[in-house]
Amino acid sequence: MATSDLDELLAILDLSSLGDDVFLGAHPHKNPPRTFGGQLMAQAFVAASRTLVHNIAPSALSVHFIAGGDPGADIEFHVVRLRDERRFANRRVDAIQNGTLLASALLSYTSAGSGLEHNVSMPDLPGPESLPTIDELLIGYEKVVPGFVEALRPIEWRYTNDPAWIMREKGGMQTTNQVWLKADGAMPDDPVLHTAAMVYSSDTTVLDSIITTHGLSWGWDRIFAVTVNHSVWFHRQVDFSEWVLYSTSSPVAAESRGLGTGHFFNPIGEVVATVTQEGIVKHFPGNA
């Protein structure tokens, strides 16, 4: 029985096998109106990883969202084995609910050995321990962003900047959003679950910079947003029991579509993952 939000996340990542590379994924008890994309991606990643023949690290995940999921029904994850070699593997995962294809994911796994190494510099920001908790940042904004207040929170967040709803009240704008993240509790000694928790978290703030660049915020402004596709490149194994910095920005928005990009940095400043997400984002001026 799950006793915390993290326990509940780990429980829904513990997929049931239906045989023939088909897995069943449940929803948590706290949900948005449609299945949270981060949940679906994390479950698809676990499903693919549980079918590997060799112990190979993940290198990339790309998900295209096709239809919204119903939180009241389980999701089947159908894994197709595209390639299995000692150093390379590929999988496709179709997420299906009641006969409807919700999303299709492609995953690659690579074990190519050592090579050239470099990465962008980690931003010089305050450490997480000195920053307010997400619960503290939501005080007084319960009616502005009720979806955030009531959401499942298995991940501890520490914003280095004002979150969108506070920025908006101050009348500011910002082109980057940088948040410290880690599991809110003990994580199992399983690298697949550490990576899955990061994939889950990668869907939390990546689109924020699209709207904060324009001084807008969820809750205060009438905004419609839905993810079209989401990709993650895995550079190093993440330890999600330790703080990682998720630094995101938006290089472009046009034709009602916006792109968010980001990097996850480990505590010593190494890039562990790179994220891109495209969403349909529309703003309807006027009072919400």
pLDDT tens profile 120-177: 999 999 999 999 999 999 999 999 999 999 999 999 999 999 999 999 999 999 999 9
Arithmetic mean of pLDDT over the chain: 95
DSSP secondary structure letter of residue 123: P
For residue 287, what pLDDT is reported? 55
Asked if pLDDT for residue 2 goes beyond 60, the answer is no
Contacts of 50 (CB under 8 A, 6+ apart): 15, 17, 23, 192
Asked if pLDDT for residue 114 goes beyond 90, the answer is no
Q: What are phi and psi of 77, to 5 degrees?
A: -115, 110
DSSP H or E segment with residue 7:
helix 5-13
Residue with tokens 């969202």: 65
Q: What is the pLDDT of residues 191-222, one digit of tens each?
A: 999 999 999 999 999 999 999 999 999 999 99
Assess whether the region 1-111 and the region 131-288 belong to the same CATH fold: yes
Q: What is the pLDDT of residues 246-276, one digit of tens each?
A: 999 999 999 999 999 999 999 999 999 999 9
Tokens of 179: 């948040």
The structural domains of the chain, with segments of one domain joined by +, span 1-111, 131-288
Asked if pLDDT for residue 288 goes beyond 50, the answer is no
For domain 131-288, give the CATH number: 3.10.129.10
* CATH number 3.10.129.10 is the correct assignment for the domain at 1-111: yes
